Structure 1
Amino acid sequence: MFPPTRVQVISRVFLKIFHHILVAFSLRVSRLSRLILWLRFLSWTAWFTLVWTQSVIYAQLLECNMDCILRHVLTIFQTFSHAFIVVITFLEGFRAHREQTDEVVVFEDSDPWMALTALAMLVPIFAVEYLVCSNAPGYPHRVRFYHLRMLPSFLALQMQIISFILEVMKANIRVRQTKQQLKVLARELSSRWPQCKQRPDFLDQQIHRIRDLKRSYNELHNLFDRINGCFGGSLLIIIMVYFALFVCNSYWLFVDVRTSPDKFYAILLNLGFIFNVALQMSAACWHCQQSYNLGRQIGCLISKLVKPQGSKRYNDLVSEFSLQTLHQRFVVTAKDFFSLNLHLLSSMFAAVVTYLVILIQFMFAERSSRPNAG
């Protein structure tokens, strides 16, 4: 093999650093010892207990308007989602020690495109958090306290979905390689020169290549099943949290633009949160849609392998391969509740508009009910 280029070395180092960040947020096992697993789990448990206790105390002491209620709801959503992932990772760590199984997600790649994608998503995340920290003294106490409690969990959920996107990208690279091999085989069998390619004995000689492609396709389907098993539960809760974040930040953006257009940092901050959620959801749905489309394209290419002059064994194998692509689709789901594709993205944005209108109506109703309204 050729030695890696400088770009590949940098990409691999960056992806390894990103993997260690996932381990720190208790999103990956990475074959840690039992002592470290327990320490990490107890540390996050203490943090979640502190956040939930303070939320309950503040909810009882302070009189909450709709803005305060939305922040408490997002606090519960994000911390419970992160806590769920922490518990699952903790249990998987003990299962890996007991069964000596390999971890599903291992960042040993050196693909520059994957590293660039992760970097492109991390830059706006840290830019938004920089805005939060740099302008924290100017926020009201409730808003500053909300951002402080949400920072670890919010970062963890975003890191989780970025790692999911990278895993789907890595799977799509293998799918494209299989598709290219199938395209080469179909081109060879479609050629009418030399004439020996049209004889049944030549087609029988290509059976081993079709079997290899069929085996590769089955391995890819198992890979997508492993991705669904690893990320299915976390994807379900992250998409629910992202939906709530999109609606709430859109509502706060509308309120800031309407009531305080001079608060540039508040408007920019809400725009940053909306942009990050939209970017990550769009990237996840787009890459999952690419997986499905590539599987469909492989199924269409198999029809070019059918040859009337071939033997029965050859055509039966091609038919079996075609049926396999029909029943084994490259579909990424959130615990089979819904599939991640562009249709989900459009439906989610349509639902955001509906709930945003409902919140705006509640805002006007709340203000009109005040004694000094108007």
Structure 2
Amino acid sequence: MKRTSILKVAAIALLATGTTSAFSAEFNLRFQTHYTPEQLSGKLAQQFIDNVNVMSGGRVEIEMFYASSVVPSVEGFDAAASGVLDGEMHGAAYLTGKNPAFQFVGDPMGGYDTPWQLYEFLYHGGGLEAANELYNQHGMQFVGWWAGGQETMSSSKPLAGPDDLKDWKFRSPPGLETEIFAQMGASPIVMDFTEVFTALETGIIDGADYSSLANNVGIGLYDQVKHATFPGFHSMPADHVTVNLDVWNSFPDDIKRIFEVASQALALQTSMAFDIANREAVPGLIANGVTLYDWSEEDRAAFRAGAQQAWDSWADKTPEARKLVDAHRAFQKKIGLID
């Protein structure tokens, strides 16, 4: 029996008892995100839910489980693929162990200068099709991205250009980033972010890659370090909206379109909200003696060239990774980011 039929039968049964509220919709879905309801991203996820519900005329109800309350964040994708959840809003960065290709959906590091270029690749550069070739293999439908924008590198010493990366010791997440920065002469050190403040105080590291400028302000990072890149350029992680493939295939075309349009609205609102928050943080940082470095086009190009070398080593790992890297490169050439 199809999923929609099961739900309709359940709704009819409950009508007889007068307790229909939980099953009044045509599609009752369970999603999970790693964000809390209080975080900006959690509030944006709720907007997405509201948009889907309103645009569907109440036919779709999404119950969101915040703060990874059903399964750990790293297991959200598998939980949705297996039917424990119907969808999830984490990110592909958790999935590189399944296939290195997920790196180029989660964060094509050094690839783009703005989230708008990232979205252009997705909708006009073949990114959506390439991503779904990968996701469908794992029983999932990739619906869209929601990217907060460029992340910032923070340091106790200047980061004015590529030369300042030489011998720069910094906290780095594992994976592709460590390879890119090592190739450029830096000394990335993988550690949990809870260790960063002590490592800075003791001189084990000179800086850290953590998050956006505004988020870094929020955790007090610039109480310890007084140099940062802004706008950033090295990393632009994107969370995704995904749906179990069987569930997705059970949707009529209008519901699929509603999810797609709601995901685009989520992307727009996310990038705008974080851009505003970052820019609002700038005057206070400058007043408190923090120096911000906006790398030149030439310096960004030098970093991108270094990143491309690391991309190749990852692209050679699987055919899916190669396909996504080739798609990114074709689009980068199209918009003049690489030759």
| Bin for the TM-score computed over the shorter chain | under 0.3
TM-score, normalised via structure 1 length: 0.25
The structure richer in helix per residue is: 1
Structure number, greater radius of gyration:
1
Structure number with higher relative contact order (C-alpha < 8 Å, ≥ 6 residues apart): 2
TM-score, normalised via structure 2 length: 0.27
The structure richer in strand per residue is: 2
